[in-house]
Amino acid sequence: MELVVDPDAYVPGMDREGNYIDAVVSKTRYPRGIRCPCGSRKDKVYEAGPVFVAHTKSKCHQKWLEQLNVSKMNYYSETIKQADTIHSQKIVIANLTRTLENKNHLIELLTEQLGNKNSAVATVTNLLD
């Protein structure tokens, strides 16, 4: 069996003003290749180097980067909403885990009682014979 390794997603850098800019890409940072989320070529995996640098100069990539800069505050509000959702989901998972543990414990007790009852019935039937 062979291990499949997915390429990393490209993350743009930020300048001093907080605007997204294209970051320097190196093979050490992206040894498995890069998948750009700009949408120009959905399943294309780029190797770190001149081919990816050429991609970052494309119109589609530049438009995506511009859109990121326009909607920065939306990403911040989305992050807050996602943090709230994650917190709620952790509570739900904890409650479900607790319920599951209680039910498993109940099943063990009932199975044990059923086993005891069967052995007692077997003893009684043996006495009547």
Q: What is the mean pLDDT of the segment spanning 68-84?
A: 85
- pTM higher than 0.85 for the full model? no
What confidence score (pLDDT) does residue 41 get?
Answer: 77
4/64 same-domain check: yes
Domain that holds residue 52: 1-70
Tally of domains within the chain: 2
Name the band, by pLDDT with cuts 50, 70 and 90, for residue 33.
confident
Distance CA 27, CA 12 (A): 16
94/125 same-domain check: yes
Tokens of 19: 């605007």
50/108 same-domain check: no
Tell me how far CA of residue 108 lies from CA of 9, 25, 105, 112, 120, in angstroms.
47, 56, 5, 6, 18
96-100: list long-range contacts, CB under 8 Å, 24+ apart: none
In a domain, 76, yes or no: no
What confidence score (pLDDT) does residue 2 get?
Answer: 63
What confidence score (pLDDT) does residue 85 get?
Answer: 96
